[in-house]
Amino acid sequence: MSWEQEVVELERRLGLIQQMGGEESVDFHHGRGKLTVRERIKCLQDPGTFREIGALAGTPIFDENGLLESLTPANYVIGTAELGGRRVVLCGGDFTIRGGAADGNIGQKYIVAETLARDHRLPLVRLLDATGGSVKTFEKLGHTYLPDTESPDISTELLGQVPVVSAVLGSVAGLPAVQACLAHFSIMVKDTSQVFVAGPAVVKEGIGVDITKEDLGDERVQIPNGVIDNLAETEQDAFEQTRKFLSYLPSNVWQMAPRSEPKDPVGRRDEMLLEVIPRIKRRIYYPHRILDAVLDIDSFFEIAPLSGRAHITGLGRVDGYPVGVMINNPLYYGGAMGPLEAEKAMRLVQLCDTFHLPLVWLCDEPGFHVGPENEVQGILRGGARAVTVFSASKMPYISFLMRQCYGVAGGLHVRHSGMYQRYAWPSAHAGSMHIEGGTMVAYKREIQNAEDPKAKREEIEARLEAIASPFRNAHAMDIENLIDPRDTRPLLCEFVQQAQSVLQTQLGPTAGASFRP
């Protein structure tokens, strides 16, 4: 006796599931320039590798004889697939069914996906295009319900164990909006993605403000403020950035990060480094040129490039090994650390510490960004938090002092325990504060009482500048390694190679500075 009839019925029902919210709903979705969740999974996966879980979950309608008349799928799709040859958990809301409402999916599939990622120790990728709760659910249930923290609990646990990516591909509110931030890397799509606590209708009802969903939470709002890390031009661009980000990280914290076949000589010495830092202190330079010179060619992946722009952060490779990278950007506020820059730096340190990547800081830090705006934004609180995060970190850490290194922010370049190495270029100068800014404070009376205050101030500054040479720091062992800038890449490669044996002893969940959104 064969089970062929049941298998045929299984195939029929799986076919119904593939119709999602129906042709009209799918066409409407496409008309807004968006892919459906199943099309997204097909674009993101290595071809043919998606294995769906809970595919038949849905709301069936039976006739009087108990035969299936229709089947509305659950508005959430989950499964596993390979990305770059490594298996990950994929999950995504189906906006063609009830707008992907979070409290309308069946069997709490998003919790099943996160639990699977945790228990199987696989990276998690969320494809977010869904609203939060809906009052229609109350009528369907016949009662209201208390918010449950089960999913956030699992989501935060995941952050310390496996890489998590959230791709915002439509209008996202409520729980899915929070899930957008409960990730190591988040991305949204230009002109089609919005993220907000609640949508325009709720805002209008709650506080009486008329606003569009774009003005409330599109890329103009959520990228500069750092809520979402990166902006993609298209959904395909978002998928490519997702794959690239994951390529630097291990599948979980119990594994070493994957090394790529090195194509760049370890001993490469770029002559440009000898002159990249201008002798005139107030002149700028282009930090990406330095990254190109010291990292493996074309290996830098920038994270949050449009937020906290005075610091550049991201992932790169050194002799094929993944590393976290930070460099100051003098094109914005002289490279000074403001609240958003402090947040970026902390997130990078936590990412490296969680997934056991060496951290590289090419330092030109003039200190905290001063002024009333930054005081209002709480720079002191952000700076204090940065100090605790850097101090608590354990990953191998190397810094190169290229130009400025001042104040508490500059002090983050050093760590006094664990594997750490520091080098300085001849262009480096440092201190508790800048000579130019500190002279009027420390010598105020002497300058004011002088016959020519301006000349006296210039005389004192020249005297101080004469003793600010990094050679004097090296003689005093305050700088232990003063180097030719062209030696930066060879020395960096040597450090990262040596760091691998230390990293192997650190595998597993990290205490202290583990990743926090």
**1, part of any domain:** no
**451, part of any domain:** yes
What's the confidence (pLDDT) of residue 272?
97
Q: Which domain range does residue 438 map to?
A: 433-468
Average pLDDT, the chain: 88
Q: Are 50 and 194 in a shared domain?
A: yes
Q: Are 491 and 358 in a shared domain?
A: yes
pLDDT at 165 over 80: yes
Q: Are 50 and 96 in a shared domain?
A: yes
Q: Are 416 and 446 in a shared domain?
A: no
The CA angle 175-180-186, to the nearest 5 degrees, is: 175
In the predicted model, what is the mean pLDDT of residues 79-98?
93
What's the confidence (pLDDT) of residue 79?
97
In the predicted model, what is the mean pLDDT of residues 145-167?
80
Alpha-carbon gap, residue 472 to 485, rounded angstroms: 18
What's the confidence (pLDDT) of residue 442?
65
Is residue 168 a contact partner of residue 138, using CB atoms and an 8 Å limit? Answer: no
The amino acid sitting at 270 is: D
What's the confidence (pLDDT) of residue 144?
53
Cα–Cα distance list, 247 to 259, 317, 320, 346, 460 (Å): 9, 11, 12, 21, 53
Is residue 92 a contact partner of residue 77, using CB atoms and an 8 Å limit? Answer: yes
HSE, CB side, 13 Å, CA atoms: give it for residue 82. 7
Q: From the CB of residue 279, how many other CB atoms can be counted at a distance below 10 Å?
A: 7
**514, part of any domain:** no
Q: Are 207 and 276 in a shared domain?
A: no
pLDDT digits (tens, 9 = 90+) for 108-135: 888 999 999 999 999 999 999 977 655 4
- pLDDT class for 408, splitting at 50, 70, 90? confident
Q: Are 235 and 104 in a shared domain?
A: yes
Domain ends where: 232, 247, 262? 247
Q: Are 344 and 407 in a shared domain?
A: yes
Q: Are 371 and 398 in a shared domain?
A: yes
In the predicted model, what is the mean pLDDT of residues 270-293?
95
What's the confidence (pLDDT) of residue 102?
55
- CATH number, domain with residue 180: 3.90.226.10
In the predicted model, what is the mean pLDDT of residues 455-466?
68
In the predicted model, what is the mean pLDDT of residues 331-342?
93
pLDDT digits (tens, 9 = 90+) for 209-237: 899 999 998 999 999 999 999 999 999 99
**516, part of any domain:** no
pLDDT at 429 over 90: no
In the predicted model, what is the mean pLDDT of residues 269-280?
95
Q: Residues with Cβ < 8 Å from 12, sequence gap 6 or more?
A: none
Of the candidates 500, 473, 474, 483, which has an alpha carbon nearest to the alpha carbon of residue 362?
483
Q: Are 17 and 90 in a shared domain?
A: yes
**474, part of any domain:** no
What's the confidence (pLDDT) of residue 395?
97
Q: From the CB of residue 426, how many other CB atoms can be counted at a distance below 10 Å?
A: 15
What's the confidence (pLDDT) of residue 250?
98
**498, part of any domain:** yes
Residue with tokens 């490039």: 305
8-state DSSP, 394: -
Is residue 123 a contact partner of residue 251, using CB atoms and an 8 Å limit? Answer: yes
The CA angle 355-356-358, to the nearest 5 degrees, is: 125
The amino acid sitting at 125 is: V
In the predicted model, what is the mean pLDDT of residues 20-34?
85
Residue scoring higher pLDDT (180 or 200): 180
Of the candidates 223, 194, 224, which has an alpha carbon nearest to the alpha carbon of residue 211?
194
Q: Are 218 and 316 in a shared domain?
A: no
Q: Are 341 and 234 in a shared domain?
A: no
In the predicted model, what is the mean pLDDT of residues 234-251?
98
Q: From the CB of residue 251, how many other CB atoms can be counted at a distance below 10 Å?
A: 19
**Phi, psi dihedral angles at 277 (to 5 degrees):** -85, 120
Q: Are 326 and 418 in a shared domain?
A: yes
**292, part of any domain:** yes
What's the confidence (pLDDT) of residue 148?
57
Is residue 75 a contact partner of residue 29, using CB atoms and an 8 Å limit? Answer: no
HSE, CB side, 13 Å, CA atoms: give it for residue 350. 24
Domain ends where: 247, 281, 311? 247
What's the confidence (pLDDT) of residue 465?
67
pLDDT digits (tens, 9 = 90+) for 358-373: 999 999 999 888 788 8
pLDDT at 142 over 80: no
In the predicted model, what is the mean pLDDT of residues 40-68?
91
What's the confidence (pLDDT) of residue 219?
95
pLDDT at 151 over 70: no
How many domains are contained in the chain?
A: 3
Write the Ramachandran bin of 242: left for phi over 0, alpha for psi from -120 to 50, otherwise beta: alpha
**510, part of any domain:** no
